[in-house]
């Protein structure tokens, strides 16, 4: 096992966990500036987490193990995904385990745990949010699988490290119809999976529109801090996955310490740029009506399916 590879694995996981609140603060600040407001500052998410961690834990009456374990499970599964995905290096001790199906299953486990927590509260809002979340997840997870599977056909493997390494050595494949279709499909997946506009509005608490927020209304104190941190880490990981798959330049494929350090810096820069672009776009986007969301996600699934078909034609298999 390479010592540099192990250090890269630990470093990228630590960057996701420690940098996720900073990314959330950057996105809020960009959006505030474009809306003509001063904004709370880049460190506000960290201050919010610190405030929540200092509060006394509160558990809703009648809830069981699903409600209590969901926040920790959300953070844990996201941290494992951050360890597996080649965000900064394709040569880590867990590169062989970074299979597409494993990563999607871990993301789905976090989603299902929150949905079960929403149902466990027994409230109308919790059940409504869980129902909506699972409707979105039923369309998002297949799209994520198909979009990355289209990129795995030229690489000959569903291992994410192999896909990223192949794209690094042959970047021309990303400019093909397969790469473009998969990029659009995966971009919609990131918006839906993280509850961003136009699928969901993370800054609203309107009963008729919220999806993610409806499931976590009963959380408070440290549990709410874990839920917020898990959501921020999820956004960071998915933006990092998008950057690694479609802008793999700078991802280390060797075991050099200097190369890995540069890759970590470039990973932070790419994710920050994607987050800023997403925040800027949200200023001009309106939330889609709830019954229009399946149409949007079905369109992204069709793009992913076309990406798979074009990949087979272009590779001649």
**pLDDT tens digit string along 232-276?**
999 999 999 999 999 998 898 876 889 999 999 999 999 999 999
pTM (global) more than 0.85? yes
pLDDT tens digit sequence for 116-173: 999 999 888 889 999 999 999 999 999 999 999 999 998 889 999 999 999 988 888 7
**Confidence check: pLDDT of 1 > 70:** no
Q: Six-digit token pair at 215? A: 């499931």
Query: Which among 303, 280, 298, 276 has a CA at the least distance from the CA of 288?
Result: 298
Spatial neighbors of 65 by CB under 8 A, at least 6 apart, are none
Looking at residue 115, its pLDDT comes to 95
Task: Considering only residues 226 and 2, tell me which one the structure prediction assigns the higher pLDDT.
Answer: 226
**Interatomic CA distance for residues 308 and 149, integer angstroms:** 7
Tokens standing for residue 60: 């809703």
- Which DSSP category does 211 fall into? S
Query: Which has the closest alpha carbon to 12: 271, 280, 218?
Result: 271
Angle at 289 between CA 284 and CA 294, to 5 degrees: 110
């Amino acid at each position: 096992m390479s010592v540099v590879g192990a250090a890269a694995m630990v470093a990228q996981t630590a960057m996701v966990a420690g940098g996720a609140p900073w990314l959330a603060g950057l996105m809020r600040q960009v959006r505030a500036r474009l809306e003509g407001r001063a904004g709370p500052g880049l460190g506000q998410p960290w201050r919010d987490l610190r405030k929540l961690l200092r509060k006394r834990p509160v558990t809703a009456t009648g809830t069981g193990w699903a409600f209590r374990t969901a926040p920790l499970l959300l953070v844990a599964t996201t941290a494992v995904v951050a360890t597996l995905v080649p965000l900064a290096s394709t040569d880590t001790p867990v590169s062989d385990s970074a299979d597409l199906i494993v990563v999607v299953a871990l993301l789905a486990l976090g989603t299902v745990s929150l949905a079960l927590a929403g149902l466990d509260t027994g409230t109308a809002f919790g059940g409504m949010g869980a129902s909506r979340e699972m409707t979105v997840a039923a369309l998002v997870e297949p799209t994520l699988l198909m979009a990355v599977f289209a990129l795995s056909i030229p690489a000959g493997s569903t291992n994410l490290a192999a896909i990223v390494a192949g794209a690094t050595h042959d970047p021309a494949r990303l400019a093909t119809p397969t790469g473009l279709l998969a990029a659009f499909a995966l971009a919609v997946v990131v918006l839906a999976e993280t509850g961003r506009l136009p699928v969901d509005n993370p800054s609203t608490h309107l009963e008729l529109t919220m999806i993610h927020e409806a499931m976590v209304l009963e959380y408070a104190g440290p549990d709410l801090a874990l839920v917020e941190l898990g959501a921020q880490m999820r956004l960071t990981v998915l933006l990092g996955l998008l950057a690694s798959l479609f802008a793999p330049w700078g991802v280390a494929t060797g075991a050099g310490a200097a190369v890995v350090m540069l890759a970590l810096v470039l990973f932070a820069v790419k994710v920050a740029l994607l987050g800023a672009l997403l925040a800027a776009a949200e200023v001009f986007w309106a939330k889609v009506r709830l019954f229009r969301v399946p149409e949007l996600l079905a369109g992204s699934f069709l793009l992913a399916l076309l990406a798979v078909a074009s990949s087979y034609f272009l590779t001649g298999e």
